[in-house]
Structure 1
Amino acid sequence: MSATEQIILHEDKLLTAIQRGDVESLDTLLHDDLLFILPNGVTITKAMDMETYTSGNMVVHSIIPSEQQINLIDDTAMVSVKIELNAVYHSQSVEGIFRYLRVWQLFDQEWKVIAGSCVTL
């Protein structure tokens, strides 16, 4: 399987884990030193992101990707994807279209997200 095909598969696994609140899969897919920038400019860590799901404060009803672009440089992949999201975060509805940028890196044959950001479209 090519690196691009692996990233497509991992992106699918990540979105499925997010929608299901599957913290075990998220723990595997996200690097321990992850940094992610939210649409409001706040930077969060993996621990902060994981707490959102373990606490039940994030419930995703639907997450629909489109316009995915993948660029590979050696053992690093950058993914830009448009996401239509319908979720509830801390009892507030989150609906809209967002552009995510995720950076995946290969560690001992395992792809992990090391960085990301999200903007509202």
Structure 2
Amino acid sequence: MDNKLTENSILEQENKLHSAIKNGNITALDQLLHDDLLFILPSGETITKEMDLNTYRNGALKVDELLPDIEKLNIIDDMAVITLSIKLSGKFNDVPFEASYRYIRVWKKFGDGIKVIGGSGIAIR
């Protein structure tokens, strides 16, 4: 098996992540997010993997629509940096929302797969 990351392998992981987010699939999210993940929310709050998973476990976030648009993808050795805009709608703490966000995510290849190790999101438009 080739150990190099490819554009297709990262896009496949992104698609899995989008599906897991939309479906609230905690098992898939647990596999896709690195245990030491750090992510900055649009509010400026920094969260960990466990904090993110708890958002789905307690039902606080329910995503109805997730429409991604990949902007840029750079592969750097065993890591990849991707930027994308996403139109999201759903409910957070039972309050409906609809907004567009720009995300940057950092993926890294490990022995047990490719995982998100960091990222950030901001509201756009």
What TM-score do you get using the length of structure 1 for normalisation? Answer: 0.96
1:67 Cα deviation after fit: 3.5
1:94 Cα deviation after fit: 2.2
CA contact (8 A) 2:70 2:82 kept: no
**Per the alignment, in what secondary structure is the counterpart of residue 17 of structure 2?**
helix
**Per the alignment, in what secondary structure is the counterpart of residue 39 of structure 1?**
coil
Over the matched positions of the two proteins, sequence identity in percent amounts to 42
1:91 Cα deviation after fit: 1.4
Match of 1:16 among 11, 14, 19: 19
Structure 1 runs not aligned, ≥5 long: none
One-letter amino acid of the counterpart of residue 61, structure 1 = D
Correspondence for 2:102: 99
The structure 1 segments of at least 4 consecutive aligned residues displaced by more than 6 Å after TM superposition are: none
One-letter amino acid of the counterpart of residue 58, structure 2 = S
One-letter amino acid of the counterpart of residue 82, structure 2 = V
Comparing 6-15 with 108-117, greater Cα deviation is found at: 108-117
Matches within 5 A, 1:75-90: 75-90=78-93
Structure 2 runs not aligned, ≥5 long: none
Root mean square deviation, CA, Å: 1.2
1:93 Cα deviation after fit: 1.9
Match of 1:111 among 105, 110, 114: 114
Correspondence for 1:52: 55
What TM-score do you get using the length of structure 2 for normalisation? Answer: 0.93
1:109 Cα deviation after fit: 5.4
Correspondence for 2:44: 41
